[in-house]
Structure 1
């Protein structure tokens, strides 16, 4: 968990919109800061539990998708929502530091969309999700997608109450991404490799990427897809269908 990345621990900076040199000595301050962060995570986990219970009660399958900026996360979500529009009633909660550009794009899918603008907070928290649920008709929702803030460090520490966590990386990011950010990948149930339509152009080593993923998270389900060409998306949809109907 980050302690110096600029995260705020107060909720005042969060806005929700809806359209229907290292020292060895540890000071007292260091310990106090650690206690504060532990307290924050404990509160978050408590709220995440209640979110998860609500999702179970409403029979809503929820996944939290994490990636670095520019990986094609929003395009992947838009493709998923659009293609499944006639099959499932869906909603998406979008987390960004600023702007509602992604939310505007995703509304084209006809899904319910809620935008969370986090300001200087580089991750979503369970409380933010809980607050945003009032903007969603949960009785008419079978699939809820949480698009976390583009960041491969901080979001991995925060349970939001999701059923599954998805780590998405693109072929342009390199095959060693899981080795560089093991915490996030270890927390994932699913890993999606995106932009497979340009894998050959960028000389992406698929075998090495898969080997690195399995070193870090051997249990994860892996999908190789292209949101633009639809390559591999059918396998992803079949997986979703099994999760939603179970």
Structure 2
């Protein structure tokens, strides 16, 4: 049970690896050996219920009613929603989970930096078109540099199979009942790629605009993909994700003439949540915006490589000073 988001992950399957969430531990078996480490999950929500009928109900699952018919959860220092666990214990569990994840994310980030790999975490709701957009992106890049994809889904390898048809290697992670990828899963999946030096790693996260916002995978940027079929107020409904994203790809714009979608409002809502977010209007089907998106990719990849070169030059200069 995931403390941060409430998912019950069960067994996580990575091609070549098996992760079993059981009694607060991950169990991994690969290449003929197994190892276990802590990665406990639980869900935290504190609810307090105030009724306007002259009496109060005090019980474990309290709710806060305010502002007419609006119900606000999570008021206060924690969101405990696990019978038998105190708020302070839930806070500690959540901190432990994210702290452990951040350690793995730091390892991933160091590995990406060492090999000048631009890692992008693609996040969206189900059905936003991110797999189609990704396959069209790979085709348009036409092997200009090394690429690989990590696919996150609860079940099936359908999306990974679609990626492999483009000729780019892909590793499927099936999270079972889990609703997000974590940094440890990504680190293990990376063991399956031979050489990505100077290239791009696309991490297609599980379709979910809530939980992936809290989990750093070691990526250079989160890229939020929002389809115009979803409604322009998504950034306001899921502010954590759009606040965490560096770029929003507003996808399926070829459908705008057939929809009641306010493009300007959507962009305004996204910038209310994150004034610095970059926004590209795009359609994988029509090709609109693809050149802008590819230019963004190339610019950030080049920046990533330059940063690595600058670090190597600084290290070389320090060594020369020792001579």
Specify every segment of 5 or more residues in structure 1 that has no aligned partner in the other structure, as ranges: none
Deviation at 1:157, TM superposition (A): 0.5
1:97-134: CA deviations, max 9, x gaps? 00000001111111110100111110000000001111
Q: Indicate which of 15, 18, 35 corresponds to 1:17.
A: 15
| Secondary structure of 1:47 counterpart | helix
For the Cα contact (< 8 Å) 2:117–2:197, is it kept in 1?
no
Aligned positions of 1:24-173 closer than 5 A: 29-31=85-87, 32-139=89-196, 142-173=199-230
What's the C-alpha RMSD, in Å, of the aligned pairs? 1.9
- In the superposition, relative to structure 1, how do residues 189 and 4 fare at CA in structure 2: closer, same or farther (>3 Å)? closer
- In the superposition, relative to structure 1, how do residues 232 and 2 fare at CA in structure 2: closer, same or farther (>3 Å)? farther
For the Cα contact (< 8 Å) 2:5–2:211, is it kept in 1?
no
Per the normalisation by structure 2, the TM-score is 0.71
| Secondary structure of 2:151 counterpart | strand
Q: Indicate which of 274, 282, 288 corresponds to 1:217.
A: 274
| Secondary structure of 1:66 counterpart | strand
Question: Do residues 180 (structure 1) and 237 (structure 2) align?
Answer: yes
For the Cα contact (< 8 Å) 2:146–2:196, is it kept in 1?
no
| Secondary structure of 1:114 counterpart | strand
For the Cα contact (< 8 Å) 1:91–1:141, is it kept in 2?
no
* Pairs aligned (count): 241
Q: Indicate which of 302, 306, 311 corresponds to 1:245.
A: 302
1:130-160: CA deviations, max 9, x gaps? 0111101134560100000000111110000
| Secondary structure of 1:138 counterpart | coil
| Secondary structure of 1:191 counterpart | strand
Per the normalisation by structure 1, the TM-score is 0.92
Deviation at 1:3, TM superposition (A): 4.9
Q: Which consecutive aligned stretches of 4+ in structure 1 deviate over 4 angstroms post-superposition?
A: 1-4, 24-28
Deviation at 1:4, TM superposition (A): 6.3
| Secondary structure of 1:99 counterpart | coil
- In the superposition, relative to structure 1, how do residues 2 and 175 fare at CA in structure 2: closer, same or farther (>3 Å)? farther
